[in-house]
Amino acid sequence: MTALAVEAVDVHRSYRLDGVSIDALRGVSLSVAAGEYVAVLGPSGSGKSTLMHLLGCLDRPTSGLLRLGGRDVAQLRDHELAQLRNRTIGFVFQSFALLARTSALDNVALPLVYRGVRRAQRRELAAAALDLVGLGHRTAHRPGQLSGGEQQRVAIARALVGEPTLLLADEPTGNLDTSSGAEVMSVLGRLNAERGVAVVVVTHDHEVAARARRRIQVRDGLVELDTGPPAGGVAVATEPG
């Protein structure tokens, strides 16, 4: 049986806003297997970003079961969850979230600081991650010296430097032009296919979603469509012809 990178069972998430309860998720169940490539689609306000935050353990469900790498996150203390998240998940955000005055190499190495990895090893691993996304020649450049597509590739390298089992990308092409966006999605697809990292892309863009082999449509806090993985195996990325 294929191992699961993350699993949600009947997950609800509610918020209080001005004394009123808002149900962002209303009973979502899904799982992402190791090595899958999944796109989560939905309009603004559908709950897809809330779902991404829960799958990434940046938030906890109001009710329901959430397992990361087989561990029930409800049973973990905050510091235990932070450690598990750091070792298991890589994040890529629409805004890149890079440190402006820091080189690409040191931006990529940052997650390893929190693991206590020594500086020399951090830099070696960060350089290898930048090579992986085609930016081995840009290690000393700061974000302002890079194009938007290059900045997002630095963010992908940072997400991968700790060898996560799950990579979550929230609107990764949202701030990019068409050419740069296609380049970034090609990098994600190649990393999924060659390295077996489970990739979940949250997007409203159907062209971006079409690069995944499985699509989950979210609306009004519910999963309204899940195409599911191919029969007999894990969904992996393919480049459109």
* Residue numbers in the chain where pLDDT is lower than 70: 1-2, 229-241
Q: What is the structure's pLDDT at 232? A: 41
Structural domain contains residue 239: no
Q: What is the structure's pLDDT at 237? A: 41
**Domain of residue 116, CATH code:** 3.40.50.300
Structural domain contains residue 157: yes
CA atoms within 13 A on the CB side of 36: 29
Structural domain contains residue 234: no
As a whole number of angstroms, the longest Cα–Cα distance in the chain is: 53
Structural domain contains residue 235: no
CA 45 – CA 64 distance, rounded (Å): 21
Structural domain contains residue 238: no
Place of tokens 């790498």: 69
Structural domain contains residue 195: yes
Structural domain contains residue 236: no
Burial of 169 (0-12, 13-18, 19+ CB in 10 A): buried
Residues 6+ apart with CB under 8 A from 149: 176, 177, 179, 180, 181, 183, 184
Q: Pairing relation of β-strands 63-68 and 71-72?
A: antiparallel
- Written as one letter, the residue type at 26 is R
Place of tokens 């997950």: 11
Q: What is the structure's pLDDT at 235? A: 42
Express each pLDDT in 22-40 by its tens digit.
999 999 999 999 999 999 9
State the total domains in the chain: 1
Structural domain contains residue 73: yes
Instruction: Report DSSP letters for 6-64, one per residue.
Output: EEEEEEEEEEEETTEEEEEEEEEEEEEETT-EEEEE--TTSSHHHHHHHHTTSS--SEE
CA dihedral of 47, 36, 75, 217, whole degrees rounded to 10? 20
Q: What is the structure's pLDDT at 3? A: 86
Q: What is the structure's pLDDT at 18? A: 82
Segments forming the whole domain that contains residue 107: 4-226
Contact (CB, 8 A) for 154 and 104: yes
Q: What is the structure's pLDDT at 158? A: 95
